[in-house]
Structure 1
């Protein structure tokens, strides 16, 4: 699951276009990405700047202006799940959320298959999520209904298919407070939060299980010219495998590798920066189950 915060100052709810990891509104001010429990990451850029008296004064003025702004930057809505599975035999599934604030929020919902450049109304997917726009009162729960409206024969029957659930939280416009001056109220800034969650369409009769798929990955580590090391993993199952962490260890030295989601019946190659693989190299990795739980696994890198 990923969450992205977007400045809504001087923007209406109908003016959003989407991008990023599905449906994230553009003009992003901050990003928090989460793929399950405990793997949320906050990304921030860092730069080394020489501070001069003139630059210091300029920064002080900017800081003072920002301090006057009322920034609503916390996500109010909690989605009850980080990923969802749609068994082919089901007529529908539900997606629950809770508005943990005291104020109502508007929630916009849609499904896509990876094309982040298209507006929600132009997407063609075999799913219907209702209602597409709903007001959730403060402290209340809401259930979205998700139905498969496509033709099963048009999707692969021997493997899973992946889609994405998008939930856009649009906070209400701030009202002037008796304790806040008009100038400060006018300078207020709103942030919308975009939730993106994986949706797996699972046909009937698939061999094995998602857990077996994650446990039976085949890993191979090779070092070319004594320098460049590649880690190859083969997923010989009908299920997607979401990896949260990968570490290649040779002796006492361990090197972390950027994780990814493995497609069914596929092979993926990862570059290992600064690592070398010998005959005793091992791989330890973490995979995410259907409920967002993280499990640890170890394997020999042949």
Structure 2
């Protein structure tokens, strides 16, 4: 009897890739995050079939911040497409009129998903791996769009830290999401033991899950920028309050 088992593995970053047991995705995406500007009708991404022998289907969709699949106010076109071996194509995130009902004074978080669907195997008892990429998609209203990010100071420099016992709280006064992926006691230093990456919502705050004593009085946080880069941000502390050092990236 023929059986074809399709196993879906979430490849949302390095940890997900490791969970995929070193399997290599056939359908590759050209970025690690999407910024959808409220002033644009759509944003296009390049995808490619890295498999040189087999065609694959690429299925795309969007989830809200709670992981629920949605088709508005943003949608994916085409939702499914076929890529021949070694071929390249594009997938588009399209804005719908309902996008105007989203908050216009801060970013809104979504997730873009891209799943590869392999051709059905004609071999019996075959285990097929369908890798799925899941990246953050930020809807950025036109009112807070950054005209030239490289020419202006990064908004992450507006972050502050507040010491509470043996922990730090990250305060984000900006209208943007900030993703922190590392923390250390000095620039270029080793990661603080026990640190867990976190994302701080606009106008929000969140605790750093690492002992303040491991970071000292001059913590260094690593954040992810719009291009997937990982600049470091140094802080100077005075008592329980810490301010980011301008130009410390």
TM-score class, shorter-chain normalisation, is: 0.7 to 0.9
RMSD after superposition: 2.9
SS at structure 2 position matched to 1:10: strand
**Which of 5, 10, 26 is equivalent to 1:76?**
26
Unaligned runs of at least 5 residues, structure 2: 242-249
Aligned to 1:235: 172
| Mapped contact 1:80–1:96 kept (Cα < 8 A) | yes
Unaligned runs of at least 5 residues, structure 1: 1-7, 17-24, 35-39, 45-70, 176-184, 224-228
Taking structure 2 as the reference length, the TM-score comes to: 0.79
Is 1:220–2:162 an aligned residue pair? yes
| Mapped contact 1:286–1:294 kept (Cα < 8 A) | yes
**Which of 5, 8, 14 is equivalent to 1:10?**
5
Residue 96 of structure 1: CA displacement? 1.1
Deviation by residue 1:130-157 (Cα, 9 ceiling, x = unmatched): 1111111111111112211033442111
Give the greater-gyration-radius structure (CA): 1
Is 1:101–2:54 an aligned residue pair? no
Is 1:171–2:118 an aligned residue pair? yes
Residue 281 of structure 1: CA displacement? 1.6
Q: For residues 110 and 157 of structure 2, what CA distance do their matches in structure 1 show?
A: 23
Residue 78 of structure 1: CA displacement? 1.4
Is 1:129–2:76 an aligned residue pair? yes
**Which of 97, 104, 111 is equivalent to 2:62?**
111
Residue 299 of structure 1: CA displacement? 0.7
Is 1:157–2:104 an aligned residue pair? yes
Aligned to 2:244: none
Aligned to 2:41: 91
SS at structure 2 position matched to 1:199: strand
Is 1:276–2:213 an aligned residue pair? yes
Aligned to 1:290: 226
Residue 165 of structure 1: CA displacement? 0.6
